[in-house]
Each structure stands twice: as structure tokens, then as C-alpha cells.
Amino acid sequence: MPSVFLSHSSPDKPFVRQLADHLRQNPQITVWLDEREISPGANIVDKIAEGLDSDFVLLILSPDSVNSNWVKEEWTDAFWDQTNNRRAKLAGVLYRDCQIPRLLRNKSYFDLRTNHPEGFRQIATWLLTEHPAPPPRINLLPTRPPLFIGREADLDFLRQHLRPSVVLGLSAMPGRGKTTLALEFAHRFQTQFESVYWLPCQSGSLPSIASDLTRQLGLSLSGDINQVVTELKLECARKRCLLILDNVEHEEPGALIPGGAASVLVTTRQPGLRFLQLHPALHLDLFSESQCFDLFRQVIGAKDVSGHEAECQAIFKRVGYLPLAINLLARLIKYSARHTIASLAAKLPADVTALIKEAIDALPPDPRRLLAAMSACAPEGFRLALASSLADFNEDASLDALDVLVGRSLVEELDRDQRRYRLHALVRTAADGAEFAQKHAQAVNKLFEAWETGWQACEQDLPDFQVAFSWAASHQASFTQQLAYNGFRLTYRIGHLGESFVICDRMGRAAERRKDNADLQSWLGNQAVILRDWGRLEEALTLHIREEALCLELGDKNGVSRSCGNQATILRSLGRLEEALQLLKRTETLCLAAGNRNGLQVSYGNQAVILQRLGRLDEALALHIKEQILCLEIGNKDGLGRSWGNQAKLLRARGRLQEAVALLKKQEALCLELGNKAMLGYCHWNWGLLARAQNDPKTEREKLTAALALFDELKMPRQRDAVAAELAKAGGAGAS
């Protein structure tokens, strides 16, 4: 709601009261008037400062106010704030004839010397029109805990301390309810924040956590992990947001602490984390006896608990008043016919792990099998469909089993619409999904085979990819290479370059340990591609040179050719065009010797691009035509489409615009035939720039808008942002 401060002199008080009363009739306007807002004994200077922090300051102009030093100080502060911080807006309200202050003479003001009611309406309309709509509130939280007992004092502690720039650690051993408390706080007090971001951290690396936050913020960030983290911190710092880092197990997530207007809540069972040592902390106590009774009565029923108080007390003491244990016991009594308060009091499992196993053993066979399958999935959360496939359940069977698990608090619901769930760490350990680990890795591998068409599902399942990848790599599974390569291609395409680099680095190190140079050179090349995208060209060039040496050692001429081609691309970016051209001629020779016609057409295309940069347009066009002929001979339709697109660029540069349009039409038809949306995006991008050269703004906007939509659909952030910049030049509606 817009807030307004009425700066006035005492003689004008009756008029100001009328104005305030009129404005307050609109519930969307908050009015600050000193006689109503300053209570007896309050610090008047502080209260006036609060009023001047409003969205609008109205200076009531009259002979008394213009000559009042106090009012002059008020509106001078507001004017300074407006012109320097662009926050509060200042306007004059001419109530009685007087000399307009010099700093207001060039600003519009409301003339209320004769018609007060009409003037009041004009002011109210202006306040509502000028006040920008608040940004949409972002809430990407897991589902609210269905049962929350006690902890009101802890919630109040969080509410009081989580102010701008504050980082607060919430630490406790497993089972005390850290995540539950953080989630209840986030849901209960979310309106105090512009946005709330929930980041599971238990097994994620910094690149994967940063990618998750990037997605939640709706950003597309390029650069290495340090650059991405810096930009994320800047973005969060300027928002009044709450960042929750849940289940932090190591120091890496501390790099994301933003400061500024943001508040950060960290839940952890590691009280010694260095990045939290200088920040306030809340250490969760165990449940009190009364809280244990409250939970038992809510779950089991007050009537059933009545008369068993002594036995309940014995149970609470035996499990150490641990919230998770109390909750599981209550549900074990409620849902299992084998257990009563009396029977559990007489024979209680030895510790919490044994208790959880007892609760699991008491499950019917199908829920028990589904729980074991779930424990093989990602700790951060998983799709029910994935766990169901591991258990070999159809949808009806899995939902029936899920109802049992949720009812007994063995499964936490993250998102009902998306059917995403999570297991508590202690439940995950006790359920022991070792028998499903291989099946899980194989299922994820199968899912990621279709990453190009099903990238949305694969992006959601990246935590499961990490689990599957770790298992496959440590067990040297036959599909490790395929899984890693598909994971690399997905994360690279959608802009998660930090995660891409981690995959390449791990695979490269593993190959080095095995002394598998063939595998090593491939992953070195992939790392170099990412370094090139980050702008770390010299490092990328070093890796490609190392890749080339390994290929020479292996006698892999195609690998040498590929590496030289990539080196040429980097040299071209560095402006070393002649060196790049020499390398590409070398790749041409290697491909001719090896009979590698596909590599040869790639070399021709790359040489042509450099020749165009050197201004040797006829030679460039001749090479593109040789590239086109080769692609037709070997049936490489993707290469043919790229050749047509590059020829069109070259023809555009030579002013042969109609010929360029003809080639782009052929490329468009081929892309539609192949279903190649990525190439189609490049085609429309190129076509939009061609239309600009033809002075055809309508086609320019249409084609650039189509390219932007494709790159956005395919989640290709670098290409999307580049097209958006071109569309902005064209004045397109889709520009961002």
C-alpha cells in the first residue's frame, strides 16, 4: 500500500486532518499524521524519521509552513531522499496563498485553495496511480508441516532476529525438528518478505545449489562458479528476501550468504561450521513433557491417552524427548494394531534407529517396499513416479502405499501437485535402499537418454542424477560414461555450467586414475568448452593442447582434428585469425588422410567463418559450398542446415539479400522436417537480422520473437539473452 507523510505547520492542522481523513477512507493508502502516530513518551525525532521513510511526502503549502524551519527541514530531507535515492516522491499541496519554495517551482503541485473535496480526490488518485504495483511474491517452499507442536518461543526468536543482513544458524542433532521449524516459520511469516527461497543442501555441491537458486530467481547467469555466486549474492542483497539453506553439511553453501536486505536461515547438525561462528544461533531443545503429551493427544486422541500418563512419561523419557521419535511412536500406536501405549511402554526399542526400524517393520509389505525404494532416491527430494518404478508399482498401488507412509510421518511431502517427496535422514538410513541403488541408477540413466526432448523432467531430477552418477562411478557401471555424457549435455545446454564442469572434472580424474587416455582426452575437451564459455580462453586452450597430445599418443587422428578445430575456435575469439586458419587447414589435411568426410565438412565451415572475418568473402563462400556438397553426399542433414545458415550470413554481408532469404527458407523447412528446434531458433535469429538489413521491421520482430520463444522453450539462456538484446533494438514486445 502507498504510504504518505503529511508535512505541515501547526496552524494548518484542521485542514490536514480533513485531508488525512479523506485519504484514510481508501484502505489502500496509509497516512502518517503526527498527532495520531506519535504516542505520549515516544521519541519524536525517531517518529518523524519513520514518517519521512514513506513512499510519498505531501508538503502543505501556506504562509506558516513556508516560513516554518521545522517543516522546511522535513521536506528538504524528503526532497534530498527523492533526488538521490529515488524512493520517496515529494509533491506540494497549495492550501493558502504563499510563495512557492524555489526547489518546488519546477514540480507540479495540487491547488486546494478553493475546492477541497475535488482536490482530495485528485491527491488520492495520484497516490494510487504513482505507487508501483508490488513485485509478485515468490514462495517456492515445500508443503507446510501438517502437525506443528510447541516451538512458539523459537518461532518468536526467529521472527525477532531475522532482520535485513542477519544470518542465523539453527543447529541441532537429527530428529529435533530443525527443518520443520524452519518450514513453519517460512510459511507463517512469509508476508514479511518479498520472496522466500528454500535450498536443500544436504548432498548438493555449490554449483548445484547455485543452479537451484538461479532457477528460483528466474535468472540466466553465465560465468564460472565464482562469478555466478557473486551475481546471486548481489541479486538477493537488494531484495527483502528470506534465503533458507536447509541441512547444510559442509562449508560450501556459506559462499551464498548475500548480506544487504536479505535474511538467511541455516539449518544444520554441524554446529562448528566456520561461516556461522560470528552469527547468532538458535539451538533447539528437546521436547518438554507437556509438548510430548500435546503431540500424543493430537495424534492418538486425548481419550486414549487419558489414564496412561505414567506409561507415556516412561516412553518419553526412554526416547529422550526427541520430537521425531515422539511423532513416530504416536503414529505407530495409532495405525498399528500390534502396538498400544502399554505395549510400547513395556517393550520399547533400544534407541531411535531401532524405533524407526520398528515403525518400518510394522508397515504392510507394499508401503515397506515403496519406502525402501524411496530411500535409494535423492535426499533432497524425488518424484513419486521414480520411486514407484523402482518398486514396480503402478499408480494406484503407489498412491495407496504413499497414503500409509504419509499418515505415519515416514515421508515428508514437498509438492503435492508435482508429487515430490522426501525422507528424513534417519528414516532414509533405517529404510536402507541398498537393494534398489543399482536399479535407481539404471532408471535415471534411461530417463537421461531422452534429455533433449524431456529436459524439463531431467532438470527436476538433477539431484537424482547426482545420486545415480555417484553410484555408477563408484561401482564402475557399464553405463557410467553414457549417464555422465547425457548429464553433461543437459546441464551444459540449460546453462548449469558449474554442474557441467563438476561432471567433466570427476570423469576426467577417474580416467586419469585408470590411465585411460582415450576417456581422459574426451573429458578434457568438454572441460575446455566450458572454460571457453566462461571467457577463460587461455586455460581452455591449454586443455585442448593437452587433449591433442593425448590423441597423438593414441594415434587418434579424428581426435586430433577435433581438438585442433576447438583450438582454432578459441584463437578466433582471441583475434588470432591466421593461427586459427592454419590449425583448420591442418584439420583438413588430417580428415582427408583419414577419410573423415564429416570432420572435413566441419573444417570447411569453420575455415569459411574465419575467411569471412578476414574479408575474403569469395573464398569463404566457396568453402561453404564444398561443405554443403559433402553434407549432401554423406546425408548429414544437420550439417547441411548449418551450412545454409552460414551461407545466408555471408550473402547478407555481401548484400545479396534475396539469395540469403532463399537459403533461410530451405534451412527452416529442413529444421521443421528434422524437428530440430535449436537450429530453427538460429535460423529465425539470422532471418530477423536479415530482415533488419532489408528494412522490414515487421519480419524482423516476428523472426526474432520466434527465435526468442524457441530458445526460451529449450532453455538455452545464452542464446535467449542475445536474441532478447537484438529484439530490444528492434523495439519488439518480447524483449526483456
The model's confidence at residue 109, banded by pLDDT at 50, 70 and 90, is confident
pLDDT higher than threshold 60 for residue 150? yes
DSSP letter for 11, please. G
Q: Give me the pLDDT at residue 259, please.
A: 83
φ, ψ at 417 (rounded to 5°): -65, -40
Average pLDDT over residues 89-118: 80
Distance separating alpha carbons of residues 177 and 421, to the nearest angstrom: 17
At residue 168, the 3 state secondary structure works out as strand
The per-residue pLDDT for range 242-275, each reduced to its tens digit, is 999 999 989 999 999 998 889 999 999 887 889 9
Please answer whether residues 723 and 709 qualify as being in contact, where contact means their C-beta atoms are separated by less than 8 angstroms. no
Residue labelled with grid coordinates 521436547? 287
Average pLDDT over residues 23-36: 77
At residue 204, the 3 state secondary structure works out as coil
Distance separating alpha carbons of residues 12 and 62, to the nearest angstrom: 8
Between the alpha carbon of residue 566 and those of residues 224, 542, 547, 561, the distances in Å are 20, 11, 10, 9
Q: Give me the pLDDT at residue 30, please.
A: 82
Average pLDDT over residues 688-717: 91
DSSP letter for 145, please. P
Average pLDDT over residues 88-105: 79
Question: Please, how many CA atoms are within 13 Å of residue 36, restricted to the half-sphere of its CB?
Answer: 13
The per-residue pLDDT for range 373-407, each reduced to its tens digit, is 999 999 989 999 999 999 999 999 999 999 999 88
The per-residue pLDDT for range 195-244, each reduced to its tens digit, is 999 999 987 789 989 988 988 888 877 678 888 899 999 888 888 899 99
Distance separating alpha carbons of residues 472 and 462, to the nearest angstrom: 15
Q: Give me the pLDDT at residue 402, please.
A: 94
Q: Give me the pLDDT at residue 32, please.
A: 79
The model's confidence at residue 86, banded by pLDDT at 50, 70 and 90, is very low
pTM check: above 0.85 = no
Q: Give me the pLDDT at residue 209, please.
A: 92
Distance separating alpha carbons of residues 231 and 221, to the nearest angstrom: 8
Distance separating alpha carbons of residues 15 and 116, to the nearest angstrom: 9
Segment 572-581 long-range contacts (CB within 8 Å, at least 24 positions apart):
572/609, 572/610, 572/613, 573/532, 573/537, 574/537, 577/610, 577/613, 577/614, 580/610, 581/607, 581/610, 581/611, 581/614
Average pLDDT over residues 182-190: 91
Any idea which of 347-356, 504-513, 572-581, 697-706 has the lowest mean pLDDT?
347-356
Q: Give me the pLDDT at residue 38, please.
A: 47
Which of 209, 241, 245 lies closest to 228, judged by CA? 209
Segment 676-680 long-range contacts (CB within 8 Å, at least 24 positions apart):
676/638, 676/641, 677/710, 677/713, 677/714, 678/710, 678/714, 678/716, 679/638, 679/641, 679/642, 679/645, 680/710
The per-residue pLDDT for range 270-295, each reduced to its tens digit, is 878 899 988 988 988 888 999 999 99
Spatial neighbors of 183 by CB under 8 A, at least 6 apart, are: 141, 142, 144, 145, 198
Distance separating alpha carbons of residues 355 and 329, to the nearest angstrom: 8
pLDDT higher than threshold 50 for residue 7? yes
Indicate the residue type of 260.
G
pLDDT higher than threshold 60 for residue 529? yes
Beta strand pairing call for 420-422 and 382-383:
antiparallel
Distance separating alpha carbons of residues 688 and 684, to the nearest angstrom: 6
pLDDT higher than threshold 80 for residue 103? no
Please answer whether residues 202 and 380 qualify as being in contact, where contact means their C-beta atoms are separated by less than 8 angstroms. yes
Which of 153, 332, 305, 162 lies closest to 243, judged by CA? 162
Please answer whether residues 631 and 646 qualify as being in contact, where contact means their C-beta atoms are separated by less than 8 angstroms. no
The DSSP string of 20-80 is HHHHHTSTT-EEE-HHHH--TT--HHHHHHHHTTSSEEEEEESHHHHT-HHHHHHHHHHHH
Q: In what order do the strands lie in the sheet containing 412-415?
A: 382-383, 420-422, 412-415
For 132, counting Cβ atoms within 10 Å of its Cβ (0-12 exposed, 13-18 middle, 19+ buried), the class is: exposed
Any idea which of 1-5, 73-77, 448-452 has the lowest mean pLDDT?
73-77
Please answer whether residues 467 and 483 qualify as being in contact, where contact means their C-beta atoms are separated by less than 8 angstroms. no
Residue 673: CB atoms within 10 Å: 10
pLDDT higher than threshold 50 for residue 85? no
φ, ψ at 463 (rounded to 5°): -60, -40
How many contiguous H segments (helices) and E segments (strands) does the chain have? Answer: 36, 14
The per-residue pLDDT for range 564-621, each reduced to its tens digit, is 999 999 999 899 999 999 999 999 999 999 899 999 999 999 999 999 989 999 999 9
Provide the mean pLDDT of the chain. Answer: 87
Q: Give me the pLDDT at residue 44, please.
A: 45
Please answer whether residues 671 and 706 qualify as being in contact, where contact means their C-beta atoms are separated by less than 8 angstroms. no
